[in-house]
Homo-oligomer: A and B are copies of this chain.
Amino acid sequence: MQLCRTVAEVRSLRPKFARLGFVPTMGYLHEGHLRLVRRAKAACGAAAVSIFVNPIQFAADDDLERYPRDLARDLALAEAAGTDFVFAPEAGELYPRGFTTRVDVGLTEGAENRARPGHFAGVATVVTKLFNIIQPSLAVFGQKDAEQAAVIRKLARDLDLGIKIEIAPTAREADGLAMSSRNSYLTPSERAAAVVLSRALQAAEFAFAQGERDPAVLRARALTVLAAEPLARVDYVAVADPDTLNPLSLPAERILLSLAARIGATRLIDNTVLG
């Protein structure tokens, strides 16, 4: 496995691979990331991983500085999962002085977009850059970031990227907690409480399976579960169209139920697509 630190290194390496699957990450890899890498490798015969904590998708009061990093461990995990090369640039390599460009797909109605203004323009911008640098045939993302998945699908379609986008199911711990690099922030008691996010989704899934189609009722089921956990502070529970991210008020057969909550100081997100 090769480690590339510069765009030029990637450009000189890229022609060695006919087809290439790509997994963009912010590092601190967990089993969720590694499943995406194995999928990319199986689909294309070669896999690239980027490790880059993208400053322009963090707001001033976000956790950019404390976001967990461990490149040596990430490289070992990526290699074991079959990665052919890792692209891990410094911030100055992707954002030299004078960088001002933004790519914005305009999915403005999503709850996460409203909670984090500018976040998804930062995501779409870095992903456009990474796609242009890596030139993958396929890129694999996790469903855990449901709005990000919708943004990337729209980006690929609207800008004619010619790259197949695959969204893989959320990887979960044994108790149901969605895997996330940010779980490393949690104290043991917070870790125990964090299971409430997936429990809240399960309550809505159960109601949906019983025939409930009213988005307001499904949302209330999830909220009730969250409210019962004293360590959780709800940021939002949202019911939306999975593609447009527009809020749903009328009964629907496909509903993105997504939520964000703080467990102590750590903001976690999770979601499920009903139907």
Contacts and interface: CB of A to CB of B under 8 A. Distances in A.
Contact of A160 (B7, B155, B160): B7
A103 to B, nearest CB: 5
A70 interface: no
A125 to B, nearest CB: 8
A128 interface: yes
A65 interface: no
Contacts of A103: 101-103, 128, 159
B101 A101 contact: no
Q: Which range holds the interface residue count of chain A? A: 20 to 34
Q: How many copies does the complex hold?
A: 2
A100 B99 CA distance: 23
A11 interface: yes
Contacts of A159: 101, 103, 128-129, 132
A161 B160 CA distance: 14
A106 B104 CA distance: 12
A105 interface: yes
Interface string A90-108: 0000100011111111110
Contacts of A7: 160
A215 B133 CA distance: 40
Interface in A110-154: 124, 128-129, 132-133, 154
Contacts of A104: 101-102, 104
A162 interface: yes
Contact of A106 (B100, B107, B161): B100
A11 to B, nearest CB: 7
9 contacts: A7-B160, A100-B105, A100-B106, A101-B154, A101-B158, A103-B103, A132-B160, A132-B162, A133-B160
Interface of A: 7, 11, 94, 98-107, 124, 128-129, 132-133, 154-155, 158-162, 244
Given A99-B158, A103-B159, A129-B159, 8 more contacts: A100-B106, A100-B107, A100-B154, A101-B154, A101-B158, A128-B159, A132-B162, A133-B160
Considering the complex of A and B, which 3 residue pairs feature the smallest CB-CB distances, nearest first? A100-B106, A101-B158, A132-B160
